[in-house]
């Protein structure tokens, strides 16, 4: 019997009914009285000076109410790495220069979308073309055009991580190999595109409804860029149609809608179309990877040296974090005694690269796990064995960087090994490849420079015992509303039914940094648990007095029953007591407060989840085409709060990460994305989706609420590598440059065949 009454149960999502009935109102669906529709004019050039913008003809078009450009703003630059002003380099509405195809230059508000679109054609922009550069390896050269003033060699951010003595260690290795990899970009493809409804009222207060991962970030960034008081801005997150890392920065829909609304004192709605979504929102960071790996002949890894150059695109955005995480997690999940990483994020005249589920780590794992398999193959060591030999274990310290408490990697390796054994001998051209990974449960470094606790929550209990839970955490589909409600109910000792959650509204919810870096369950979960515990304490104080039990007894609440822990039959109804508590405090409702900020937990994260994934493929050697047959994952995420939620995250991750390995790509020509439509951007649909299996591994993370840690992003880390390793095992070719397309496999097979002759 489970020791928990709520968590660990298979429950229906708390926002489920509105979603399956189509009654959920997304920003996409919002219509307000007196509302106008906005459209954005974007640069058709990758790099150019703006000489002049003539909006007069557009303004005269019947139905157009306002046209704005960068001149209608305070002219500030903003960026999400607020702690470092030099990295706040994006104006959004460009004033002097455009830096990528899609960079906004003007916006129109009109009575309907068609009129707004027509007006865009009437805006005349005079550009002076500048030489542009698209590849970071070119942009880093002396002769390359400078994209941002004062940034030499277009080097936006650098990162260095080091421990031990890598050079010395390589000398001691029996075997050293060096490899190059190229990791591609990827589009988030949220089903709901970026959108916002901004309403600035005559009293100077701004309300923005928007599809976002962090209403607090949007509130703060709008305050920064528009010189408004944070408290005069209210950002509300309606049900959000996906985000995956693309929606926690201030975007053009939010900003332009706001600027237009401020000019008119009317609500303005902007919805990006799918083409804008592909070309003018942020995307996964493409990376050039140079890795050197050294081991003893028995497979003990001694040293790893990593050099990464990332294609930054036109602005910093969250690319600095991706640069850091890719470097840190390149050391995962193994105990390297010596390690060195140097990362360079280089500006290019392409759409900015930023955060996408996995945050630089799918790239790190694709490289690391591919190379490790190559090394294992050369040394004649089984892929599972080499991982076992070097894998992290609980209570491991990554020197100077992080402390890993719970770690179930070895159980995951065992489970996958078992799975592979069960599959038995496979036919020719058919094989299983594996990849191991570890990922963070939220980040520690305060690059946003928030003065607030990273997570906070408030619980309010009224006379009928119903619990209102207020949290800034954002449910973007991953189910945080449900998971946090479950944590609240479990801690308070009531049922999931008793909780009503209000989330992602800066006007009524305490700030939370948002849904990124897989932080909500652990960080906001801790805050929610604390708030619930606070409320519970107040209830139990009263109940203890009322029951007058001997001092040796503890009280607790379970399933709406307040009772003595050792004598559960002795107790009182939660509902009855709540009424009396409120009466006893002069009619004041019960309020519980909670917050969480990781302190002294290293530099990266308070906890890490681990896993091992096995991908089974069948290759058609004549064409190079392969089918993903099955992806089985052993993932440990501490205590499982919301099992349906985790399964959903895993299967969804397979679709996304599998796509990263198999088919998703954004080919470019002179900075222009060639496939900005869902007809041309290839992604996995139901007929392409492999069978998926989850092997649950039991662990407990002391830092997390009820022992839980992340299960959202880590799952996107291994699939590309597992696919690559599987293809290699099946037909003997290695593709070091994502995605692993049939044509690449075919060419590699042909080359292999010719070399064999």
Partner 1 sequence: MKKELRLVVNGQPYELYIDPKTLLVEVLRDHLGMTGTKRGCNSSSCGACTVILNGMAVKSCSILALQAHGGEVLTVEGLASGPELHPLQEAFLDHGAFQCGFCTPGMLMSAKALLDENPKPARQQIKEGIDGNICRCTGYNSIIRAVTAVVNGEYGVKK
Partner 2 sequence: MIRDFVYLSPKMLKEALTLLSEHQDECKVIAGGQSLLVLMRQGLVSPEYLIDIKGVSELAYIKGDAKRGLRIGALTTHRTIEKSPAMKKGFSVLAEMERRVASIQTRNWGTIGGNICHGEPAGDPAPVLIALNATLSTASLEGKRDMAVQDFSVDYFETALKPDELLTEIQVPAVPPHTGTAYAKFNVIESDIATVGVAVSITLESGDGLCKDARIVLGACAPIPMRAKQAEEALRGKEITDKVLRKAGQVASEEAEPIADMVASEEYRRELVKVLVARVGKEALARARQA
* Contact call for residue 687 and partner 2 (CB under 8 A): yes
- The tokens of 337 are what? 């005694």
- The tokens of 143 are what? 């002769």
**Residue written as tokens 């050697």?**
621
Given partner 2, partner 1, none, residue 625, with its beta carbon under 5 to 8 Å by kind, binds: partner 2
- Position among 674, 702, 751, 753 found at the interface with partner 2 (CB under 8 A): 674
**CB nearer partner 2, residue 449 or residue 623:** 623
- Position among 476, 511, 539, 673 found at the interface with partner 1 (CB under 8 A): 476
Given partner 2, partner 1, none, residue 622, with its beta carbon under 5 to 8 Å by kind, binds: partner 2
The residues in 477-536 that bind partner 1, with binding defined as CB under 8 A, are 477-479
Task: Report how far residue 596's alpha carbon sits from residue 601's, in angstroms, rounded to the nearest whole number.
Answer: 13
Between 553 and 592, how does the x/- string for binding to partner 2 read (CB under 8 A)? Answer: ----------------------------------------
**CB nearer partner 1, residue 598 or residue 676:** 676
**Residue written as tokens 């006893």?**
584
- Position among 37, 200, 209, 244 found at the interface with partner 1 (CB under 8 A): 244
Residue spans of alpha helices (H) in 104-208: 113-122, 136-139, 166-172
- Position among 117, 179, 275, 737 found at the interface with partner 1 (CB under 8 A): 275
Spell out a b/e string for 586-621, using b for 16 or more CB atoms within 10 Å of the CB, else e: eeeebebebbbbbeebeebbbbbbbbbbbbbbbbeb
H or E element at residue 389: helix 383-390
Q: Are 496 and 15 in contact (CB under 8 A)?
A: no
**CB nearer partner 1, residue 232 or residue 688:** 688
Task: Report how far residue 414's alpha carbon sits from residue 697's, in angstroms, rounded to the nearest whole number.
Answer: 10
- Position among 667, 698, 702, 752 found at the interface with partner 2 (CB under 8 A): 667
Stretch that binds partner 1, among 257-265, 267-275, 284-292, 722-730 (CB under 8 A): 267-275
Count of residues of this chain found to bind partner 2 when the rule CB under 8 A is applied = 25
H or E element at residue 38: strand 36-42
CA nearest to 652, candidates 694, 612, 616, 682: 694
Given partner 1, partner 2, none, residue 478, with its beta carbon under 5 to 8 Å by kind, binds: partner 1
CA nearest to 728, candidates 329, 422, 383, 419: 383
Task: For residue 22, give Cα distances in angstroms to 19, 26, 243, 503.
Answer: 5, 10, 19, 20
**Quick one: CA torsion of 356, 357, 359, 362, rounded to 10 degrees?**
-110
**CB nearer partner 1, residue 655 or residue 735:** 655
**CB nearer partner 1, residue 55 or residue 478:** 478
* Contact call for residue 186 and partner 2 (CB under 8 A): no
Task: Report how far residue 258's alpha carbon sits from residue 218's, in angstroms, rounded to the nearest whole number.
Answer: 11
Q: Are 313 and 302 in contact (CB under 8 A)?
A: no
Q: Are 208 and 27 in contact (CB under 8 A)?
A: no
- The tokens of 352 are what? 């900015």
Q: Which bin fits 580, alpha (ψ -120 to 50), beta or left (φ > 0)? A: alpha
* Contact call for residue 429 and partner 2 (CB under 8 A): no
**CB nearer partner 1, residue 37 or residue 45:** 37
**CB nearer partner 2, residue 182 or residue 625:** 625
* Contact call for residue 141 and partner 1 (CB under 8 A): no
Q: Are 257 and 281 in contact (CB under 8 A)?
A: no
Full DSSP string of 457-525: EEEEE-TT--EEEEE----SSS-HHHHHHHHHHHHHT--GGGEEEEESBTTTS-----S-TT-IIIIIH
- Position among 687, 755, 756, 757 found at the interface with partner 1 (CB under 8 A): 687
* Contact call for residue 76 and partner 1 (CB under 8 A): no
Given partner 2, partner 1, none, residue 113, with its beta carbon under 5 to 8 Å by kind, binds: partner 2
H or E element at residue 233: strand 233-236
Stretch that binds partner 1, among 311-319, 333-341, 411-419, 653-661 (CB under 8 A): 653-661
Q: For the chain, report the end-to-end CA distance as a whole number of angstroms.
A: 64
**CB nearer partner 2, residue 10 or residue 685:** 685
Q: How far is the CB of 713 from partner 1 (least distance, A)?
A: 14
**CB nearer partner 2, residue 381 or residue 683:** 683
* Contact call for residue 589 and partner 1 (CB under 8 A): no
Task: For residue 503, give Cα distances in angstroms to 223, 236, 466, 710.
Answer: 21, 9, 16, 20
Stretch that binds partner 1, among 95-103, 475-483, 507-515, 735-743 (CB under 8 A): 475-483
The residues in 79-118 that bind partner 2, with binding defined as CB under 8 A, are 113-114, 117-118
- Position among 167, 743, 751, 753 found at the interface with partner 2 (CB under 8 A): 743
Task: For residue 548, give Cα distances in angstroms to 441, 542, 571, 575.
Answer: 42, 10, 11, 19
* Contact call for residue 645 and partner 1 (CB under 8 A): yes
Task: Report how far residue 651's alpha carbon sits from residue 633's, in angstroms, rounded to the nearest whole number.
Answer: 10
- Position among 153, 689, 700, 732 found at the interface with partner 1 (CB under 8 A): 689
Given partner 1, partner 2, none, residue 16, with its beta carbon under 5 to 8 Å by kind, binds: partner 1
Full DSSP string of 8-37: TS----TTHHHHHTT----GGG---TT-EE
Task: Report how far residue 368's alpha carbon sits from residue 434's, in angstroms, rounded to the nearest whole number.
Answer: 12
Strand partners, 179: 291
Q: How far is the CB of 262 from partner 1 (least distance, A)?
A: 26
- Position among 675, 694, 732, 737 found at the interface with partner 2 (CB under 8 A): 675
Total Cβ atoms within 10 A of residue 369: 27
Total Cβ atoms within 10 A of residue 1: 3
Given partner 2, partner 1, none, residue 655, with its beta carbon under 5 to 8 Å by kind, binds: partner 1
- Position among 38, 136, 242, 368 found at the interface with partner 1 (CB under 8 A): 242
- Position among 107, 511, 530, 684 found at the interface with partner 2 (CB under 8 A): 684
**CB nearer partner 2, residue 60 or residue 627:** 627
- Position among 87, 189, 233, 749 found at the interface with partner 1 (CB under 8 A): 189
**CB nearer partner 2, residue 592 or residue 739:** 739
* Contact call for residue 679 and partner 1 (CB under 8 A): yes
**CB nearer partner 2, residue 583 or residue 750:** 750
Q: Are 270 and 37 in contact (CB under 8 A)?
A: yes
* Contact call for residue 692 and partner 1 (CB under 8 A): yes
Between 625 and 664, how does the x/- string for binding to partner 2 read (CB under 8 A)? Answer: x------------------------------------xx-
* Contact call for residue 265 and partner 1 (CB under 8 A): no
Given the rule CB under 8 A, which residues bind partner 2? 113-114, 117-118, 622-623, 625, 662-663, 667, 674-675, 679-680, 682-685, 687-688, 741-743, 746-747
Given the rule CB under 8 A, which residues bind partner 1? 10, 12-13, 15-26, 28-29, 188-193, 239-242, 244, 273-275, 476-479, 644-645, 647-648, 650-656, 677-680, 683, 685-687, 689, 691-692
């Amino acid at each position: 019997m489970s020791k928990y009454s709520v968590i660990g149960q298979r429950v229906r999502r708390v926002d489920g009914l509105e979603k399956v009935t189509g009654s959920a109102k997304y920003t996409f669906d919002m219509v307000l009285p007196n509302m106008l529709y906005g459209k954005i004019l974007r640069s058709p050039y990758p790099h150019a000076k703006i000489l002049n913008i003539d909006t007069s003809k557009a303004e005269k078009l019947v139905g157009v109410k306002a046209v704005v450009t960068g001149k209608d703003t305070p002219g500030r630059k903003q960026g999400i790495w607020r702690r470092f002003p030099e990295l706040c380099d994006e104006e959004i509405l460009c004033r002097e220069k455009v830096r990528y195809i899609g960079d906004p230059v003007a916006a129109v508000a009109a009575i309907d979308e068609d009129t707004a679109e027509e007006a865009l054609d009437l805006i005349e922009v005079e550009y002076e073309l500048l030489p542009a550069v698209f590849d970071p390896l070119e942009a880093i050269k002396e002769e390359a055009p400078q994209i941002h003033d004062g940034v030499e060699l277009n080097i936006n951010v650098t990162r260095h991580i080091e421990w031990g003595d890598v050079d010395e260690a390589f000398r001691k290795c029996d075997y050293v190999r060096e490899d190059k990899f190229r990791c591609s970009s990827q589009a988030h493809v949220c089903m709901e595109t970026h959108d916002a409804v901004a309403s600035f009222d005559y009293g100077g207060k701004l309300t923005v409804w928007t599809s976002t991962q962090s209403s607090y970030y949007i509130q703060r960034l709008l305050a920064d860029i528009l010189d408004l008081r944070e408290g005069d801005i209210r950002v509300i997150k309606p049900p959000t149609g996906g985000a995956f890392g693309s929606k926690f920065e201030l975007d053009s829909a939010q900003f332009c809608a706001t600027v237009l609304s401020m000019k008119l004192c009317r609500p303005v709605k902007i919805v990006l179309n799918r083409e804008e979504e592909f070309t003018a929102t942020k995307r996964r960071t493409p990376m050039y990877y140079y890795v050197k790996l050294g081991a003893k002949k028995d497979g003990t890894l001694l040293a790893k040296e990593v050099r990464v150059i990332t294609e930054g695109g036109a602005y910093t955005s969250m690319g600095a974090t991706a640069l850091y995480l890719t470097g840190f997690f390149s050391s995962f999940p193994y105990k390297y005694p010596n390690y060195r990483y140097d990362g360079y994020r280089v500006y290019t005249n392409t759409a900015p690269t930023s955060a996408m589920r996995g945050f630089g780590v799918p790239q790190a794992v694709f490289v690391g796990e591919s190379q490790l398999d190559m090394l294992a193959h050369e040394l004649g060591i089984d892929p599972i064995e080499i991982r076992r030999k070097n894998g992290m274990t609980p209570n491991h310290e990554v020197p100077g960087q992080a402390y890993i408490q719970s770690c179930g990697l070895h159980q995951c390796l065992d489970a996958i090994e078992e799975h592979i054994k069960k599959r038995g001998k496979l036919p020719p051209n058919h094989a299983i490849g594996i990849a191991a990974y570890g990922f963070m449960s939220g980040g520690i470094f305060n690059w946003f420079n928030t003065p607030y606790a990273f997570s906070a929550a408030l619980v309010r209990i009224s006379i009928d015992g119903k619990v209102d839970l207020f949290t800034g955490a954002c449910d973007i589909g991953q189910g945080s509303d449900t998971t946090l409600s479950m944590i609240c109910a479990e801690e308070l000792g009531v049922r999931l039914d008793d909780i009503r959650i209000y989330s992602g509204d800066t006007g009524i919810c305490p700030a939370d940094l948002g849904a990124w870096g897989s932080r909500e369950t652990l960080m906001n979960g801790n805050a929610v648990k604390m708030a619930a515990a606070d409320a519970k304490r107040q209830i139990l104080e009263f109940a203890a007095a009322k029951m007058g039990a001997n001092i040796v007894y503890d009280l607790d609440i379970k399933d709406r029953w307040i009772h003595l822990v050792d004598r559960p039959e002795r107790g009182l109804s939660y509902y009855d007591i709540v009424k009396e508590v409120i009466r006893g405090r002069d009619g004041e409702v019960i309020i519980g407060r909670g917050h969480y900020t990781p302190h002294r937990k290293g530099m990266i994260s308070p906890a890490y989840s681990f896993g091992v994934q096995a991908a089974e493929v069948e290759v058609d050697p004549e064409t190079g085409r392969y089918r993903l047959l099955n992806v089985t994952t052993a993932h440990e995420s501490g205590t499982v709060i919301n099992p349906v939620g985790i399964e959903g995250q895993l299967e969804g991750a397979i679709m996304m990460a599998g796509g990263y390995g198999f088919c998703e790509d954004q080919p470019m020509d002179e900075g222009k994305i060639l496939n900005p439509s869902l007809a041309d951007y290839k992604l996995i649909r139901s007929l392409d989706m492999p069978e998926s299996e989850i092997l649950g591994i039991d662990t407990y993370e002391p830092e997390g609420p009820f022992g839980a840690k992340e299960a959202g992003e880590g799952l996107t880390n291994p699939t590309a590598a597992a696919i690559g390793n599987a293809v290699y095992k099946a037909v003997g070719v290695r593709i070091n440059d994502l995605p692993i397309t049939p044509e690449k496999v075919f060419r590699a097979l042909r080359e292999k065949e010719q070399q064999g002759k």
